[in-house]
Chain A
Amino acid sequence: MNTLLVLAGIGVFGLFSEIFRFKKALLPVVFLGLAAALVTTVCDWNTNVSYFNNMMKVDNFSLAFSAVMICITMLWFIISPGFFTDETSKSDHFTLILFALTGGVLMSSFNNMVMLFLGIEILSISMYILAGSNKKSLASNEAAFKYFLMGSFATGFLLFGIALIYGATGSFDIDVIATRLSEGNLNSSVMLFAGILLTMIAMAFKVSAAPFHFWAPDVYQGAPTVITAFMSTVVKTAAVAAFFRLFIHTFTSMTEVWHTALMIISAATILVGNITAVYQTNVKRMLAYSSIAHAGYMLMAIVSMNSAAPSALLFYVIAYSVSSIASFTILLMVSNSTGNDSIESFYGLGKKNPFLAIMTLISMLSLAGIPPTAGFFAKYYIFIAAMENHMMPLVLIAVLGSLIGVYYYFRVIIAMFRDGNEKEIDFSGRYKLVMIIAGILALALGVAPGIVTGLL
């Protein structure tokens, strides 16, 4: 709760800084604010309180995901100053990111459909603008427009779904909805089914699951790289957390309506994401497809529906975000020095820049799920959760997906050891800092995963 206030507060502070001209102080203040938000999040651990007439419920699940999002945002701010060079809109960008984060925190701690909707909208609207923040680039504008159009559709679906569920159960409160559903005497089952399916489609859109993923590659590629990094980590975390909370908490007694469908969506997402990624020559677009594929693995945690699922999902989100932010940092540096995002930019990296090569190696291994990195344990926990629920076919599809994944992640590794491109890459200390933090985390979670798994 305090977390939300702090985040919204520094967001508003950012807006005022434009008027009162203290833009220089903005970054340190934002950092302090994020740190404060993190502290309040940690302090709320195990308290389990609900706020605003049960509109919001701060439990360990929401706290854990909020903390992850805040930490990733802090890392993100370290690599992003280059993005804020355009002085006139500097504070806007700060504010939008902070509002997006606020939306994300709401999405992970809602206890009411209205709050879910508000969270999604706060997050999405900020992201629509940020995707188009490179105003001079056609691709960036296209990305923003596409994102906005498709996102509005999805929001429409969500609103429809919420309305229909309200019609069937008479409440927005997910606790009340859950009890009504388990009691079974409902006004109209058709309305309810339609409502659940519509919300599922909307959420699948937000996590970019197949077949609702078509916006993602274009938006990820078109948006400025730092924004893509934010979208594929924080935004994805928020969306998946909301998805999980909604379906596991609220619709558990209605599994016959959505379970099979979601299982198919999960399998399809894994396959589509991985297979399409194989054909990409642009690393940024490849990472976009890889993020689609990872969404599929995260959905596996939702369809597992057992006590192992929340911590499996949390671990997956952490592992994925950490390795993802590292790979985007690398991509940022490589494309800054070579001028494009294609795989050829990575040629010769192993020779001229061993540090960068090792970091790329770690993050690619982690994304591919190879021990001893965090990505391996992430997949491992997800597989365990799924197998406890006897979903062997899904696990086998996921294994197949991981194999395909190795192919394209390793293409980046292989590219580093090809000849060519002898130009030295200059990188400032802050990139190095983020990469070292992310690299250590990826390895530490791969060796001692117990530090996270016991949490939920």
Chain B
Amino acid sequence: MLSLLIFFPLLAALVTAFSGEHAKKVAFAAAIVEFAYSLCLFFRFDPVGGIQFTENFAWITNLGISYHIGMDGIALLLIMLTTFLVPLIILSSFNHKYKSPSLFYSLILTMQFALVGVFSAYDGFLFYIFWELALIPIYLICLMYGGKDRLRITLKFFIYTLTGSLLMLVALIYLWLQTPGTHSFDLQALYALNLSAVEQSWIFWGLFLAFAIKMPVFPFHTWQPDTYVDAPAPGTMLLSGIMLKMGVFGVMRWLLPIVPQGVAEWGNLAMILSVIGVVYASMIAWVQKDFKRLIAYSSIAHVGLISAGVFSLTFQGLHGSVIQMISHGINVVGLFFIADMIEQRTGTRDMDHLGGLRTTAPGFATYFMIIMLASVALPLTNGFVGEFLLINGIYQYSQILAAFAGLTIILGAVYMLNAYMKISLGEAKSVAKHFAALTLTEKAVLVPIVIMIFLIGIYPKPLLEIAGPAVEALKLSIQTATSLK
């Protein structure tokens, strides 16, 4: 029952909202149950079985809107990522004291509800609703628990993303009007549409802008660094770890097969923008002093590479982007958690004021190093698998673009190692002198992350096998859509 997986977090959110001081324990327990349940689905999932756990019944009949959910390999992995990360995110916030914790954790669980919904929707309208629903809890989290300048920044974030959403809504309504008979929002009906080239171009931009803002792809990224920096740590983790995957996922399921000609016409531009984003964001990350901001920019660079891989439309590119979404989600949550711990213990994120953590807190520095190396895609870590496939895919598309995209390996190593050096090596600065040892809950967050880094890095086969057939099916549906039109 996939519905249960979607609605359980919502139920848990309601319970959490009324659980007062016990909120964080209730929320954590609920997230663990959700993860366990998703594991059950994971083991029952048949990689070559196509779309599974389908449920389909009418919701608003006279508009052809149905509650149609299901999941293929890509969605399964993203749902697993969500259910894996949410308990860690909740756990990572245990050393913070948030005012009215019941509300805070209830919002996180509501967010999880919307995210799982986005990844399972097979009806355009349902997808849109979940897409919007995901925005409200994260907006409130940032608004109520964010930093000093949160009022201005969150509004910018909201309006930016809502612009994209509304354009997507218009595009979806347009598509709906083109479906035959009494109209339908069903994904298959949208795939089967016969649109002219001009229409496809317009629809492409309507949908692409929504996804590009969410990811974010250069030049639609300006909301992102401020929001990431200003949001409370769990909010940043939700945004970067899971929410930006909504954009990539949207491109895969709701853009490429629906308007293949539009993609053929504008995909090249999207590729170039993505690659520009990779180089541009890496350069900016290089000169950052604020560690959290550095991670924010590195996230733009990584997602640029993922997006370029998707638009290359090659099997390796698409395959790599799925794997990299998972790896990036895990790594970036780890990095933001590291940044959060540093800020909590030393009171600063400015790397010039930090230093020598390796001598004062060797255990911490080791975790930091592993996650950092995974983020720069060292072989045997999870980052390497995806990045290798991605660059391979981009190379098949264009060697020049691949050359630029490949810079990410060098630049990523430069800024990440630079940051590591400033924070951990050298002489211990005053703020780093008394770096408290890791607590049990902190270890409980870091250890699963490190295990996943090595597990995926050394033995990525199960992941590749789950994603493979789904990517194959996606490519096939793009091809049939192209030949139809």
Give the B-binding residues of A (Cβ under 8 A). 350, 354, 365, 370-372, 376, 380, 383-384, 387-388, 395-396, 399, 402-403, 406-407, 410, 413-414, 417-418, 448-450, 453-454
Contact of B144 with A by CB under 8 A: yes
* Interface members, chain B 37-83 (any A CB < 8 Å): 59-63
Whether the Cβ atoms of A371 and B173 lie closer than 8 Å is no
Binds A, one of B160-168, B239-247, B271-279: B160-168
User: Which of chain A's residues have a CB closer than 8 A to the CB of B155?
Assistant: 407, 410, 414
CA distance A354 to B20 in the complex (A): 14
CA distance A417 to B145 in the complex (A): 10
Whether the Cβ atoms of B169 and A406 lie closer than 8 Å is no
CA distance A410 to B143 in the complex (A): 11
5 smallest CB-CB distances across A and B, nearest first, come from A371-B132, A399-B166, A450-B60, A414-B151, A371-B129
Whether the Cβ atoms of A383 and B162 lie closer than 8 Å is no
Using A371-B129, A388-B177, A418-B151 as known contacts, say yes or no to A407 and B159 having CB atoms under 8 A apart: yes
What are 28 of the A-B contact pairs (CB < 8 Å)?
A350-B144, A354-B100, A370-B162, A371-B129, A371-B132, A380-B169, A383-B169, A383-B170, A384-B63, A384-B173, A384-B176, A384-B177, A387-B170, A387-B173, A387-B177, A395-B170, A396-B170, A399-B170, A406-B158, A407-B159, A410-B155, A414-B154, A414-B155, A417-B144, A448-B60, A450-B60, A450-B61, A450-B62
Interface residue from B133, B143, B158 paired with A417 (Cβ < 8 Å): B143
User: Which of chain B's residues have a CB closer than 8 A to the CB of A453?
Assistant: 60, 62-63
Contact of B174 with A by CB under 8 A: yes
User: Which of chain B's residues have a CB closer than 8 A to the CB of A403?
Assistant: 159, 162-163, 166
For chain B, the count of residues having a C-beta within 8 Å of the partner chain is 30
Give the A-binding residues of B (Cβ under 8 A). 59-63, 100, 103, 128-129, 132-133, 135-136, 143-144, 151, 154-155, 158-159, 162-163, 166-167, 169-170, 173-174, 176-177
Q: Of A371, A399, A403, which is in contact with the most chain B CB atoms at under 10 Å from its CB?
A: A371
CA distance A371 to B170 in the complex (A): 15
Whether the Cβ atoms of B167 and A399 lie closer than 8 Å is yes
Q: Of B133, B136, B166, B167, which is in contact with the most chain A CB atoms at under 10 Å from its CB?
A: B166
User: Which of chain B's residues have a CB closer than 8 A to the CB of A384?
Assistant: 63, 173, 176-177
User: Which of chain B's residues have a CB closer than 8 A to the CB of A410?
Assistant: 155, 158
User: Which of chain B's residues have a CB closer than 8 A to the CB of A407?
Assistant: 155, 159
User: Which of chain B's residues have a CB closer than 8 A to the CB of A354?
Assistant: 100, 103
CA distance A384 to B129 in the complex (A): 16
Q: Of B154, B167, B173, which is in contact with the most chain A CB atoms at under 10 Å from its CB?
A: B173
Whether the Cβ atoms of A449 and B144 lie closer than 8 Å is no
Closest to B151 in A: A414
Whether the Cβ atoms of A414 and B169 lie closer than 8 Å is no
Whether the Cβ atoms of B166 and A402 lie closer than 8 Å is yes
CA distance A168 to B32 in the complex (A): 75
User: Which of chain A's residues have a CB closer than 8 A to the CB of B132?
Assistant: 370-372, 376
CA distance A403 to B170 in the complex (A): 13
CA distance A453 to B174 in the complex (A): 20
User: Which of chain A's residues have a CB closer than 8 A to the CB of B173?
Assistant: 380, 383-384, 387
Q: How far is the CB of B182 from chain A (nearest CB, A)?
A: 12
Using A403-B166, A454-B62 as known contacts, say yes or no to A371 and B133 having CB atoms under 8 A apart: yes
Q: How far is the CB of B7 from chain A (nearest CB, A)?
A: 13
User: Which of chain B's residues have a CB closer than 8 A to the CB of A454?
Assistant: 62
Q: How far is the CB of A247 from chain B (nearest CB, A)?
A: 24
Closest to B145 in A: A417
User: Which of chain B's residues have a CB closer than 8 A to the CB of A414?
Assistant: 143, 151, 154-155
